[in-house]
Amino acid sequence: MTGQTTVQLRQVEKRFGDLVAVRSVNLDVAAGEFFSIIGPSGCGKTTTLRLIAGFERPTGGVIEIVGRDVTDLPPYRRPVNTVFQSYALFPHLDVVENVAFGLREARTPRGELQRRVKDAISLVQLDGRERARPKQLSGGQQQRVALARALVNRPEVLLLDEPLGALDLKLRKEMQTQLKDLQREVGITFVYVTHDQEEAFSMSDRVAVMHQGLLEQVGEPEEVYRRPATPFVADFVGLANRLPGRLHEAASDGRYAVDIDGVGRRLAGGPPGLVAGDRVTVVIRPEDLHLEAAGALRSGVLASTSSVPATVVDVAFLGAHRTVRLTAGSLGQLVAVGRGQVTVSQDDKVSLSWADDDAWVVPAAADS
C-alpha cells in the first residue's frame, strides 16, 4: 500500500467567480489504493474529481499523476478514466462499442482490442449482453458497462463519481462488495467520491472528509471514525454524542483532562496541540455509552469513575441492536446503541458511563 504516489494535489484551488469550490487542497493517493472523498453535497468533492480528470482547470496549484504534471493537460491526454454518476453511456453504441471506445481512440490493434473488450465484459459479468444498447439494460447493468468502458483502458487511476447513487439500496450493497473485489483484482488506484460515509468506509483503504472546499481529515476509516480531527468530521461520520466542555490540561500520556459541563473532570484522547482553557467538544460514539438501571449494583469492571444520570426517551428496535434516546439534564439529548445487557424502556431512570479511551476531544465548532 505504501508504494509510490499515483495522484498528487499540491495547493490546488478552484474558483467559480466568487465561489471557492476547492481551497488549497493537498492530497497524496498511493498506487493501488482505494481512496474515497466524502462530504455533504456542495463540499467540493466532485469538483476535486473533475480537476483530476481534467474537466476543470484549477485556478491555482499543481496536479500530478504518476509523477507527471498534468495540470494543463486536457482530459483526453491524461492517464485516468472516469465512471460518471449518470454513467454517460453512448446511446447510439451497443455494449461492445461502448467498451471499445477508448481502445479505438488509442488505435489498439484489432486482435488485442477484441480480447481486451471481451475480458472487460466478462470482468463485469455482462457476457451475453454484448449487442444490447444502453437503453435495453437495467441500471445496474449500465453501471457495469460504464465500469468496463473505463477499466478496459487500464488507466493509472479510475475516478468514480457517486457511481452507485442511482441504484436501489440492495443493489447498492451488492455493488459495493463487487467494486471492492474488482479493485483488488485489477489493482488500479480508485478515487471514489460519495456523500455516503458508510459506503466509503466499507470499501476504502483511506478516506478524505471534505467540507466547504477544505480537506478536514484524511485517514483510514477507523481512524477518522475514532479520532475525528474536527467537530464537522465527528458529526458527518456516523452518529456522535457531543458534550461541551473546557480543556483543563494536557495529561502526560497525550490525553487531556477536560471539564465537561455538568459532568465534571474526565480524561479523553484528542488531537495534539489543544491548549488549556480552550472550549472543546467531547465526542462519544453511541455504541460506547453504557447504560445501567439506576440504583443497580455496580459491577466494578468498567474503568469509568462515575456515571451520569439520564432518562430514557425512546427505544427503537433495529434488529441487531436497539437505539436508545436519552435526556441527561444539561447535556440534552444523547443516543446510545444498546447491546442487550440492559433492557430499558421508556421513562426509565438510567445511569450512563463510558470508558476514558472511548472519549475523544475536538476543538469546539467555531459557530457554536
Partner 1 sequence: MIRRHPVVGAIALVVIGYLWIPILAVAVNSFNRSSLMVRWGGSTAHWYSLAFHDPNVRTGLITTLEIALGSTALSLVIAVSGSLWWRRAPARARAIYDALVYARIVLPEVVFATALFFLFLKAHFPLGILAIIIGHSVWNSAYAAVIIQARLTGLDPAIEEAAADLGATPWRVFRRVTFAALLPAIIASGLLTFTFSFDDVVTSYFLGGQSSSPLPLVLFGMIRFRITPEINAIGVMVMLFTVTLMGVAVAVFALMGSARRGRRGAFAEFYGQ
Which residues of this protein are in contact with partner 1, per CB under 8 A? 53-55, 74-76, 80-82, 84, 86-94, 96, 101-102, 105-106, 114, 118, 127, 130-131, 149-150, 153
Give the span between the Cα atoms of 114 and 212, in whole angstroms: 45
Q: Which is nearer to partner 1, 42 or 79 (CB)?
A: 79
Q: Which is nearer to partner 1, 141 or 311 (CB)?
A: 141
Q: How many CA atoms lie within 13 A of 308 on its CB side?
A: 26
Q: Which is nearer to partner 1, 96 or 352 (CB)?
A: 96
User: Smallest gap, in angstroms, from Cβ of residue 152 to partner 1?
Assistant: 9
Q: Which is nearer to partner 1, 102 or 228 (CB)?
A: 102
The three cell numbers locating residue 262: 455538568
Q: Which is nearer to partner 1, 155 or 245 (CB)?
A: 155
Q: Which is nearer to partner 1, 26 or 86 (CB)?
A: 86
Report the phi/psi class of residue 252: left, alpha or beta, with left for phi > 0 and alpha for psi in -120 to 50.
alpha
User: Smallest gap, in angstroms, from Cβ of residue 80 to partner 1?
Assistant: 8
Give the span between the Cα atoms of 42 and 200, in whole angstroms: 17
Q: Provide CB contacts within 8 A for 173, sequence distance 6+.
A: none
User: Smallest gap, in angstroms, from Cβ of residue 7 to partner 1?
Assistant: 15
User: Smallest gap, in angstroms, from Cβ of residue 46 to partner 1?
Assistant: 12
Q: Which is nearer to partner 1, 134 or 269 (CB)?
A: 134
Mapped onto helix, strand or coil, the DSSP state of residue 202 is helix
User: Smallest gap, in angstroms, from Cβ of residue 110 to partner 1?
Assistant: 10
Q: Which is nearer to partner 1, 11 or 136 (CB)?
A: 136
User: Smallest gap, in angstroms, from Cβ of residue 8 to partner 1?
Assistant: 20
Least Cα distance to 52 among 101, 97, 12 occurs for 12
CA pseudo-torsion sign 152, 158, 164, 170:
positive
Using CA atoms, how far residue 184 sits from 53, 124, 220, in Å, is: 22, 14, 17
Least Cα distance to 260 among 138, 352, 157, 161 occurs for 352
Q: What is the CA radius of gyration of the chain?
A: 25
Task: Return the percent helix, strand and coil in the chain, to nearest 5.
Answer: 25, 35, 40
Count the neighbouring beta carbons within 10 Å of the beta carbon of residue 74. Answer: 10
The three cell numbers locating residue 193: 467520491
Give the span between the Cα atoms of 236 and 233, in whole angstroms: 5
Q: Which is nearer to partner 1, 81 or 351 (CB)?
A: 81
